[in-house]
Amino acid sequence: MEKVYKLIAITISIIILGFSITFFFLPKKDFSENEFRYLTEFPKFSIDKLFKGTYIPSLENYTTDHFPLRDNFVSLKTKAYLLSGQEMISDVYIAKDHYLINRFKTNVNQDKIIKTLNKFQNNNPNINIEMLLSPTSTSINEDKLPKHNINESELDIINYYYNNLNFKTIDIYNILKEEKDNYQLFYKTDHHWTSYGAYFAYKQYCIDNNITYYNLDDLNITKVSDNFLGTLYSKVFTDKKYADDIYKINTLDYDVTIKYLNKITDDFYQEKYLKEKDKYSYFLGNNEPIIEITNNKIDNKEKLLIIKDSYANSFIPLIANHYQIIIVIDPRYYNLNISDYIKDNNIKNVLFLYNINNIDTDIGIIKIR
Amino acid sequence: MVFSSIPFIFFFLPIFLIIYYIVPYKLKNFILLIFSLIFYAWGEPVYIILMLFSSLVDYINGLLLNKIKNKRKRILILIESIIVNLSLLGFFKYSDFLITNLNSLFNLDIPLLLLPLPIGISFFTFQTMSYTIDVFRGNIKYEKNFLNFMTYVSMFPQLIAGPIVRYDTISEELHHRDISFNNYVNGFIRFLEGLFKKVLIANTLGSLFLEVSTNYLSYSSLTLILGIIAFAFQIYFDFSGYSDMAIGIGKMLGFTYLENFNYPYISKSITEFWRRWHISLSSFFKDYVYIPLGGSRCSVIKNIRNILIVWFLTGLWHGASWNFIFWGLYFGLVLLIEKFILKKYLEKLPNFFKHLYSIILILIGWLIFAFDDINILINFTKNIFTNTFIQNDFYFFIRNYGITLIIAIILSMPVSKIIKEKITNSKWKGVYCTIFFISYLILFIITISYLVSDTYNPFLYFRF
């Protein structure tokens, strides 16, 4: 026994020294692809920072952020967690068929949000306003979750919104449930819906609004990426093997002009993002306060204003086939009065599009006027 | 700096140990002092003055007590030491608690001081104070060398979270100690075991308790009880793990600290529990409060008074909040009942019921300890009785944390001792030893992966 102790103490002491020495010689990265953030820089010493108590924590974070084999250690931790029986890491379930699925917690702000939206409707009495609240993988792919889980019901919260909003609502829960075994509606490694999920939301929207929609068979479906590792992957850091495919689904001959705040393009899809970590931004980029999309093949003067979160980004390329002009506002970044915008631009149709897991904490929707 | 962190394990400790082992014997205390001061200043560059002050005062008290033979003057020195240390502790730890209570009692509006709590103040004030008391009583010889005394007070292994090491325990080793490879090995293993307990068990069950305590309104009764059990293990593995690490590092340096925990959860009564839990604290209160007050060698009424005073103080020492005081008095009361009424009956019960009785009372104790907001404590307790008895969430938590809980239960019993003895006498010694070696290596790597992941913090600005 004594001998084993000696062996353990010596071996682990050497391992510790090995890591400490390697740490000093290892080139430091400044950006972590997997976490999508800048790592802590070596803090410059100052007496002031030391006494304020900010110097030491950054120094400590520096050692941990740049620790040798850091990414391997993080994925080892995930494996150890799974081995010890844990099925959820940072509020993400490690579900069946390599799906990662967000935990859904009770919403707390729904009454405030409903009040804000109903007030918005009062301010714009003659406008056709609709709400499309999407469920997420959490409820649609329920059967992939552990049998006993601690999710609240997404459907209950969606229905709560729908029963209390004073305007038209679009229910896509059923169509997604019906189609979930035929198509992959949500990414396995990301919290967004796939282009298929977006397609069925589009289909339901069209049915509810008497628009003749395109059948899937009539659309052109192209795989544009097979190595998408999304936000859920970043949170739990499981196996890289099970990356997602990204599809582009649209008519063959769409012809649009898209005006961003500081650029104009002729396509929804931004190829450059497929080479980056944040591949979902392939759909209409990200963090744009306002986008104006003109369909050059239609001359019906129909305008639609979409107020939305990022779920809408893969929905918009489809619905854009039916309106001459679509204005997209992301109220997280758009700080002006939307009601004024509606009056000034003579808009008749407004669509709110959010997913139920995000709406509660969305910092944009709460400031809509 | 905490022991269970990358900077400590990979930078502070190895650099310190290398220097400590290399320098000549005479310089070792000095090196230990310097690194202890760095260790303290690491988190609290300003409050280091408090510790220096407290040490200086009691160092001088020791010198004076050695010179002065006049009894009255000696008592004055003793009182001065107690006043200085208790005021330090009182001012920095309890003033906001006092102000809050005065404000609500008399409808006042005194602003809070909002002082951060100086690290280790509850420990070093007790250590320096006990030194003066012991010199006064003539139990120990005074320390001539200030550097040595300062080294004793500031010694980083036990500085932050104990055990409370009395001067008596290490006075000899402060001057002559055995710094050997054997001690390094045994200390290192002890440190590792403490580290595993803290990181792999305490932190994991801590997250279960956090989950339950933030959602106690909707979870089932059994889940709430499971949450309290998780808390009981969290606090035991956290605290005893930390003591293990302290004792281990002490050993590596050549110091022998007394044990602080002795498998408290296998106790057959609450009296026994308090002989096994945080031993250095209970014996401190026993030797410096209970016995001086007359202990049990006085009338029953006085004895009851003494017990309640000790347990009021024990509770208060744990934190500046009413729930800790209730927690202390709760145990005081249970101990009184055990002592004067239950003792005869308890002895006749089969062991199983003795354990059950103790565990239930201990868990009730942790329930009081866990919530420093009295309203949450009351509501949580109420919900244990009013929520649905069992739901999905209970099965989920059992599936997710069952293995960790079972390991925690096993490690709360003296099985590892038995296993180690078995291995030494077994025919298959070689095989077992290999398994032992490999498991420690794996546990170490996993522990590091947990620590490295601490700052793993995906920034999801493209979140939604």
**In this complex, do B462 and A61 lie within 8 Å of one another by their Cβ atoms?**
no
Same domain, A159 and A200: yes
Compute the nearest-CA separation of A129 from chain B (Å). 23
Same domain, B47 and B167: yes
Same domain, A237 and A110: yes
The number of distinct structural domains making up chain B is: 3
- Report whether pLDDT(A192) > 50: yes
**In this complex, do B185 and A13 lie within 8 Å of one another by their Cβ atoms?**
no
Instruction: Please say whether the beta carbons of A185 and A140 come within 8 A.
Output: yes
Same domain, B266 and B370: yes
Q: How many residues does chain A have?
A: 369
Q: Is residue A225 part of a domain?
A: yes
Q: What is the pLDDT at residue B456?
A: 55
Q: Is residue B403 part of a domain?
A: no
Same domain, B308 and B353: yes
Instruction: Please say whether the beta carbons of A192 and A280 come within 8 A.
Output: yes
Q: What is the pLDDT at residue B463?
A: 33
- Report whether pLDDT(B459) > 80: no
Q: What is the pLDDT at residue B461?
A: 41
**What is the rounded CA–CA span in Å between residue B36 and residue B165?**
15
A102: contact with B, CB 8 A cutoff: no
Same domain, A217 and A324: yes
- Report whether pLDDT(A144) > 50: yes
Same domain, A59 and A147: no
| Both structure tokens of B188 | 């290192």
The number of distinct structural domains making up chain A is: 2
Average pLDDT, chain B: 91
Same domain, B304 and B211: yes
A221: contact with B, CB 8 A cutoff: no
Q: What is the pLDDT at residue B109?
A: 86
**What is the rounded CA–CA span in Å between residue B116 and residue B385?**
38
Q: List the single residue in B with minimal CA-CA distance to A361.
A: B464
Contacts of B185 in chain A (CB under 8 A): 5-6, 9
Point out the residue among A35, A278, A362 whose CB comes nearest to the CB of B464. Answer: A362
Q: What is the pLDDT at residue B462?
A: 38
Compute the nearest-CA separation of A178 from chain B (Å). 25
| Both structure tokens of A155 | 């459907």
Same domain, A49 and A193: no
Same domain, A55 and A142: no
A303: contact with B, CB 8 A cutoff: no
Q: Is residue A20 part of a domain?
A: yes
Mean per-residue pLDDT, B256-274: 95
Question: Mutate which of B456, B459, B460 to disrupt the A interface (most A C-beta within 10 Å)?
Answer: B456
Same domain, A14 and A105: no
Mean per-residue pLDDT, A97-106: 92
Point out the residue among B395, B403, B454 whose CB comes nearest to the CB of A85. Answer: B403
Q: Residues of A numbered 321-350 whose beta carbons fall under 8 angstroms of chain B's beta carbons: which are they? A: none
Contacts of B192 in chain A (CB under 8 A): 8, 12
**What is the rounded CA–CA span in Å between residue B298 and residue B294?**
6
Least Cα distance to B336 among B271, B383, B385 occurs for B271
DSSP-assigned letters across all residues of B385-408: HHS-S--HHHHHHHHHHHHHHHHH
- Report whether pLDDT(B460) > 50: no
Q: Is residue A132 part of a domain?
A: yes
Same domain, B249 and B327: yes
Average pLDDT, chain A: 91
Same domain, B201 and B256: yes
**In this complex, do A74 and B456 lie within 8 Å of one another by their Cβ atoms?**
yes
Same domain, A52 and A110: no
Q: List the single residue in B with minimal CA-CA distance to A16.
A: B10
| Both structure tokens of A60 | 């400590």
A310: contact with B, CB 8 A cutoff: yes
Q: List the single residue in B with minimal CA-CA distance to A363.
A: B464
Q: Is the dihedral of CA B273, B278, B283, B284 positive or negative?
A: negative
Q: Is residue A336 part of a domain?
A: yes
Same domain, B346 and B331: yes
Which residue range forms the structural domain that includes residue A269? 98-367
Same domain, A53 and A116: no
Q: Is residue B408 part of a domain?
A: no
Q: Is residue B73 part of a domain?
A: yes
The least confident of A9-18, A187-196, B165-174, B400-409 is B165-174
B442: contact with A, CB 8 A cutoff: no
**In this complex, do A34 and B395 lie within 8 Å of one another by their Cβ atoms?**
no
Q: Residues of A numbered 263-282 whose beta carbons fall under 8 angstroms of chain B's beta carbons: which are they? A: 278, 280-281
Same domain, B97 and B130: yes
**In this complex, do B449 and A74 lie within 8 Å of one another by their Cβ atoms?**
yes
**In this complex, do B448 and A65 lie within 8 Å of one another by their Cβ atoms?**
no
* Residue that the structure tokens 């280091």 belong to: B48
B188: contact with A, CB 8 A cutoff: yes
**In this complex, do B452 and A64 lie within 8 Å of one another by their Cβ atoms?**
yes
Q: Report strand pairing: A349-355 vs A303-308.
A: parallel
Q: Is residue B407 part of a domain?
A: no
**In this complex, do A148 and B186 lie within 8 Å of one another by their Cβ atoms?**
no
Q: What is the pLDDT at residue B332?
A: 95
- Above pLDDT 90, what percent of chain B? 72
Least Cα distance to B213 among B203, B223, B199 occurs for B223
Compute the nearest-CA separation of A368 from chain B (Å). 17
**What is the rounded CA–CA span in Å between residue A134 and residue A170?**
9
ipTM of the complex: 0.88
**What is the rounded CA–CA span in Å between residue B140 and residue B386?**
57
| Both structure tokens of B346 | 């308890």
Least Cα distance to B397 among B199, B219, B202 occurs for B219
B399: contact with A, CB 8 A cutoff: yes
Same domain, B265 and B383: yes
Same domain, B197 and B233: yes
Contacts of A237 in chain B (CB under 8 A): 456
Compute the nearest-CA separation of B44 from chain A (Å). 8
Q: Is residue B402 part of a domain?
A: no
Backbone dihedral region for residue A151 (phi beyond 0: left; psi -120 to 50: alpha; all else: beta): beta
Same domain, A120 and A199: yes
Q: Is residue A83 part of a domain?
A: no
Tally C-beta pairs within 8 A across A and B: 159
- Above pLDDT 90, what percent of chain A? 71
Point out the residue among B7, B13, B437 whose CB comes nearest to the CB of A60. Answer: B7
Same domain, A110 and A62: no
**What is the rounded CA–CA span in Å between residue A139 and residue A131?**
19
- Report whether pLDDT(B464) > 70: no
Q: Is residue A92 part of a domain?
A: no
Q: Is residue B404 part of a domain?
A: no
How far does chain B reach from its first CA to its final CA, in angstroms? 36
Catalytic residue among B176, B278, B318, B355: B318
pLDDT digits (tens, 9 = 90+) for A257-290: 999 988 999 999 999 999 988 899 999 988 889 9
Least Cα distance to B400 among A83, A87, A142 occurs for A87
A65: contact with B, CB 8 A cutoff: yes
Q: Is residue B338 part of a domain?
A: yes
Q: List the single residue in A with minimal CA-CA distance to B454.
A: A64
Contacts of B442 in chain A (CB under 8 A): none
Residues 6+ apart with CB under 8 A from B17: B252
Where does residue B214 rank: exposed (0-12), middle (13-18), buried (19+ CB within 10 A)?
A: exposed
How far does chain A reach from its first CA to its final CA, in angstroms? 73
Q: Is residue A361 part of a domain?
A: yes
Which residue range forms the structural domain that includes residue B231? 184-397
Q: Is residue B309 part of a domain?
A: yes
pLDDT digits (tens, 9 = 90+) for B416-455: 888 878 887 888 888 888 988 999 999 999 999 999 887 6
Compute the nearest-CA separation of B450 from chain A (Å). 6
- Does residue B176 have an active-site annotation? no
Q: Is residue A58 part of a domain?
A: yes
Q: Edge-to-edge strand order for the sheet containing A100-102?
A: A88-89, A92-94, A100-102
Contacts of A16 in chain B (CB under 8 A): 9-10, 13-14
Q: What is the pLDDT at residue B419?
A: 83
Same domain, B116 and B259: no
Q: What is the pLDDT at residue B363?
A: 97
Same domain, B459 and B318: no
Q: What is the pLDDT at residue B455?
A: 63
Same domain, A164 and A252: yes
